[in-house]
Structure 1
Amino acid sequence: MRRTFLTCALATVAAAMAPPVRAQASPYPTRPVHFIVPASAGGPGDVIARLFAEPLGRALGQPVIVDNKPGASLTLGTAAVAQAQPDGYTLLFTTSTPIVMVPFTMKKAPYDVQRDLMPVAHLGSTALVLYVNASSAIHDVKQLVTAARSQPQAANYGSYGNGSSAHVLGEMLNRQTQLSMVHVPYKGVAPELQDLVAGNLMAAVADIGTAAPLVKAGRIRPVAVTGTKRASALPDVPTFAEQGISGMEPFSPWWGVFAPAQTPQPIVNQLSVELSKLVRQPEMQARLFALGIDATGTTSSQAAEITRAEIAKWQSIIRSVSYINFE
């Protein structure tokens, strides 16, 4: 009895002196991850999100599901992520518009980017393009200006939403050429281009990838691209600057992934690493190039730096067209 008591007592003391065993954190992810795309299905954001979703799901060991939440100038889906649980299961896959532009074009955006969202990765950027219906006589910006002045009742242009980069570009084109083309906003690029094909728009501003099938089919014609040099996917289309229109160089929307603020940094880092690996794959780069996108791929800290710089840049640009009634 005495020996048994001493053995138990020593075991108790040893257990008390042993270092505590820390509970192991649950591995991430243990269930499906959701990409919230704040734009309609078929648009560039949706297409690119689906391009990344399947291989990212394989890398994570759980499905990545794309959920489209369009509306309210891309703020509906963006706000949904900003208000989501910061657990890494609800992510924003978006173009730069609701991140760096809408906060300055909307009187009261339903989120604060720097307070409510965490950058995960910057994936790539693309030029914007000014398109016309292929049956029109317009082949360059000068001819567009002439047509808009001679047919003021038909002088309009489409964009993929109020406060979007396409909207701001259109208004800067109006200012630079002293035109008064009427802005016609759409809930996404696809319906905008459909109306251009139908002849309801004199011009439209959109990305390269979404419009590519219509360009190849001879339904619409690109007449100018943004940026400091011609787009590699449209080498025969001159820049706005080449056609005497300055100030269009910064208009290069980019795509990125964001998480709700307070998402654990290890989860953000894991996602950033996997997305960067995907961007560096030759097959992915080729598919992005086909969509007119110059691939980047960054760490979360690099994505944060890019986001801060872009916010400052677009705040300045939008102030220069502050006369626009965005919302």
Structure 2
Amino acid sequence: MSILTRRQLLAGAGALAATGLCAPATAQTARPGTLRLLVGFPPGGTADVLARALQPALQTRRGEPVIVENKPGAGGRLGVVELKNAAADGHTVMVSADPILTIYPHVFPRLAYDTAADILPLVPLASEPVGLCVGPMVPAGVRTLADFLAWCKANPKQAAYTTAAAGTTMHFVGAQLAHASGTDLLHVPHRGGAAAVQDVVGGQIASTMTSMSLALPHLASGRLRCLGVSTPGRYARLPDVPSFAEAGHKDVVAQVYYATWLKAGTPPATVAALAEQVQAVAAMPDVAALLDKLGLDRMSQPQPAFAQRVSADLKRWGPIVKATGYSADD
């Protein structure tokens, strides 16, 4: 799928909002019994597209209104604060990628929420790995991760990787790889993943640590080469590319996952009912087709097990972030 097609797909949710067919709740008043699907970003992003894919079937299944409500700002943090301040009655569900809940607590010194105390993980929807991809700055003879790391050591002025932003999963996976391999890699954050990838495709920077959904179109065209991925084993979409763990860096394992979240303290029966409803809708063929178009993999896990995973990830990212010395200034 071309980058243009992906952008059109993501922009389609914004177009739906403009028509009023699936308008954000900021322009309407939620009446009693309405389920709010909260998104901490503007219409058109991946979390927003997923929320809008769930909305119609959830509404049918529940027999009551379901609306998507966008609360953009502060890199998604305002959405989490909105969820924290909602009633713990199961009528507000946030759709978000995990770093806002698992990495941000270690990045922002004055965060307005506590993931463990304020937020209850519901169920996951989709995931994707992070990949190290190189572009035309790197010689064609560099075919493996070991080749690239050796090239970086021989060419320290070019030893750099781009990411969508500082403080992201991609940032810290790159830092982990640099530390594990003893390689000095300069992190170059951008304002968004597409811009980060484009600088590598254009030959301005050697490599990018990126979400694979952004990289796949460029890999298909040959403009990027993927040398490693953050899955524990091989990534199904790129079976010929070894994982970082296979290449000898066993601790460089990560996924970005999109999931649903509730306010802590929501009654267990409500949590169980919502988990069943969301899982059933997420398994529908049209949602599966959308995930495939976005380059995402379906992720399904029972609510208790998913909550345990989030807790483990929250703890795991702490020392990784601390080791980099990075802290956000807002």
- The reply to whether TM is greater than 0.5 is yes
State the AA in 1 paired with 2:206.
Answer: M
Deviations 1:54-88 (A, max 9, x none): 4334434434326262534x434333332344454
How far 1:311 moved relative to its partner? 2.2
- Give 3-state SS (helix, strand or coil) of 1:242's partner: coil
- Bigger Cα displacement from structure 2, 177-186 vs 228-237: 177-186
Quote the offset at 1:265 in angstroms: 4.6
Give, in whole Å, the separation in 2 of the partners of 1:48 and 1:315: 28
Instruction: From the superposition, tell whether residues 84 and 165 of structure 1 become closer, same or farther in structure 2 (CA, over 3 Å).
Output: same
Matches within 5 A, 1:290-305: 291-305=294-308
Instruction: After TM superposition, list the pairs within 5 Å mapping 1:133-148 onto structure 2.
Output: 133=135, 136-137=138-139, 138-148=142-152
- The alpha carbon displacement at 1:154 in A equals 3.1
* Consecutive unaligned residues in structure 1, runs of 5 or more: 1-27
After superposition, give the CA deviation of every residue in 1:10-34 in whole Å (9 maximum; x if it has no partner).
Answer: xxxxxxxxxxxxxxxxxx9744623
Alpha-carbon spacing, 1:305–1:92, altered in 2? closer, same or farther (3 Å):
same
Q: Given the superposition, is the C-alpha separation of residues 192 and 44 from structure 1 closer, same or farther in structure 2, using an over 3 Å criterion? A: farther
Question: Given that residues 43 and 210 in structure 1 are in contact (C-alpha distance below 8 angstroms), is that contact kept between their aligned partners in structure 2?
Answer: no
Shift of 1:288: 3.2
2:313 to 305, 310, 315: 310
Matched, 1:157 2:161: yes
Report the Cα distance in structure 1 between the residues aligned to 2:90 and 2:154, rounded to whole angstroms: 54
Matched, 1:34 2:37: yes
Greater shift in the superposed pair: 255-264 or 48-57: 48-57
Answer whether contact 1:43 1:189 (CA < 8 A) is retained.
no
In the alignment, which residue of structure 2 is the partner of 1:281? 284
Report how far residue 314 of structure 1 moved: 2.8
- What's the counterpart of residue 74 of structure 2? 71
Shift of 1:264: 4.8
Task: Determine the structure 2 residue equivalent to 1:11.
Answer: none
Shift of 1:171: 0.7
CA 1:186/1:274 → structure 2, altered by over 3 Å: closer, same or farther?
farther
Instruction: In structure 2, give the amino acid aligned to 1:196.
Output: V
With over 3 angstroms needed to count, the CA separation of the structure-2 counterparts of 1:50 and 1:142, relative to structure 1, is: farther
- In the aligned structure 1, how far is the partner of 2:78 from the partner of 2:284? 32
**AA paired with 1:97?**
P
Distance in 2 separating the partners of 1:43 and 1:200: 26
Uncovered stretches (5+) of structure 2, i.e. residues with no partner: 1-30
Counterpart position of 1:8:
none
CA distance in 1, matches of 2:82, 2:325: 27
Whichever residue aligns with residue 271 of structure 2, its letter is V
Does residue 1:242 correspond to 2:246, yes or no? yes
Query: Structure 2 counterpart of 1:326, which letter?
Result: S
Hey, what's the Cα distance between the residues in 2 that align with 1:264 and 1:189? Answer: 38
**Residues 93 and 201 of structure 1: is their aligned pair in 2 closer, same or farther, counting only changes over 3 Å?**
farther
Structure 1 CA distance for aligned equivalents of residues 264 and 138 of structure 2: 48
Q: How far 1:134 sits from its partner (Å)? A: 5.3
Aligned-pair CA distance for 1:240: 1.6
Aligned to 1:325, the other structure's residue is in SS state coil
**Structure 2 residue 325 is the aligned partner of structure 1 residue 324:** yes
Aligned pairs (5 A) from 1:87-236: 87-133=89-135, 136-137=138-139, 138-236=142-240
Q: Which residue type is aligned with residue 306 of structure 1?
A: R
How far apart are residue 202 of structure 1 and its match?
1.8
Normalising by structure 2, report the TM-score. 0.76
Write the distance in 2 (CA, Å) between the matches of 1:119 and 1:239: 28
Q: Return the letter of the residue paired with 1:112.
A: D
| Structure-2 change in CA distance of 1:44 and 1:205 (3 Å) | farther
- The amino acid of 1:220's aligned partner reads L
How far the C-alpha of 1:236 sits from its partner, in A, is: 1.7
CA RMSD of aligned residues (A): 3.1
1:144 alignment partner AA: F
Q: Quick one: structure 1 residues 282 and 146, their matched pair in 2 at CA, closer, same or farther if it must change by over 3 Å?
A: same
How many pairs does the alignment contain?
296
Alignment pair present for 1:268 and 2:268: no
Could you tell me whether the CA contact under 8 Å between 1:232 and 1:292 is conserved in 2? no
1:268 aligned counterpart, secondary structure: helix
Distance 2:214 2:55 in 1: 18
